[in-house]
Amino acid sequence: MEQPIATPTSVHKSRAVHHDKSLAYGRGLCFAEFARRSNRFGPLLCTRYAETRLGPSVQLVAGNFPETMNILALVSEEDPDTVAVLPIVARLADAGPRMVLRILSDDDDLTPLGTLAPDLDIQALVSEWDLPQFYCFDEDWYLQAQWGPRPGAAEAHVENWLASHPEYETLAEDESPTGQDRYAVLVEELIYEMRVWYNSGLAQRCQEEWLELLRAWQSPDEPPLVEGKSDA
């Protein structure tokens, strides 16, 4: 009688880790779920998605992307950058049969992100990094790329706007009703400005950076594009 071949413990462990990470990723929301949950900006997120048009090169590369890309977005739900950028990445992910986007808010339980990327300092990430940040995992749940919070071409626009509205960051920390009302007005103004910027060219620049990321992902001799700043 033949004896069954024992499966190495390391294989069982690897499968368990893979399963845990798949479950953790699945706890994120898809774009439609996230938009429905957002009482304040849900309709605008949907409008931004509808008005986003991918360029031919981006459509071609995304549509023929040969590898699995699991994108996890960590966002601040009412941040103007989230409203500007998240719909573009959602449109990109929907164009790629092997791409999936899931979303976590910084107000959510961030345990799933810790499971997926245990080397990340989650507390420092939330307190020090500008959001949104997009983490791109391969089919084995290795973190291959990170992008955020906005395309490089947008930095000058944001810096100029903040210089013209120095009270914006102060009011963000003001918990008084008056302070929060004034902050809400400025958020609405910045969202409007960003919508103009992105519809006037920044959406294309955003897509170009993601196109570079997708191409680098497939080129073993080139590191994936990593964007973002650790300080505001």
Residue type, 153: A
Q: What percent of the chain lies above the pLDDT cut of 70? A: 87
pLDDT at 232: 40
Cα 97 from Cα 92, distance rounded (Å):
10
Report if residue 57 sits inside a domain.
yes
Cα 138 from Cα 115, distance rounded (Å):
15
Residue 222: pLDDT over 70: no
Report if residue 156 sits inside a domain.
no
Q: Which of 121, 68, 67, 71 is nearest to 91 (CA)?
A: 71
Report if residue 79 sits inside a domain.
yes
pLDDT at 229: 44
Report if residue 210 sits inside a domain.
yes
Report if residue 155 sits inside a domain.
no
- Residue 165 tokens read as 């509205």
pLDDT at 226: 52
Q: In what order do the strands lie in the sheet with 133-137?
A: 99-105, 69-75, 133-137, 143-147
Cβ atoms of residues 65 and 214 within 8 Å: yes
pLDDT at 46: 96
pLDDT tens across 45-59, in order? 999 999 999 999 999
Whole-structure pTM value = 0.86
136 DSSP β-pair partners:
71, 145
Residue 87: pLDDT over 90: yes
Report if residue 89 sits inside a domain.
yes
Residue type, 221: D
- For residue 81, what are the domain limits? 14-150+203-217
**What are the C-alpha distances in Å from 177 to residues 78, 180, 182?**
17, 5, 9
Report if residue 4 sits inside a domain.
no
Average per-residue pLDDT for the chain: 88
pLDDT at 125: 77
Residue 97: pLDDT over 60: yes
CATH of the domain at 98: 3.40.30.10
Residue 134: pLDDT over 70: yes
- Residue 100 tokens read as 């999936």
Q: What is the DSSP letter of 226?
A: B
pLDDT tens across 158-185, in order? 999 999 999 998 998 899 999 999 999 9
Residue 62: pLDDT over 50: yes
Residue 231: pLDDT over 50: no
Report if residue 229 sits inside a domain.
no
Tell me the torsion sign for CA atoms 129, 155, 173, 108. negative
The total domain count for the chain is 1
pLDDT at 60: 96
Q: Which of 63, 64, 65, 30 is nearest to 49 (CA)?
A: 30
* Angle, CA 175 vertex, CA 77 and CA 193 arms, to 5°: 45
Total residues found in the chain within this entry? 232
pLDDT tens across 98-132, in order? 999 999 999 999 999 999 999 888 888 777 789 99
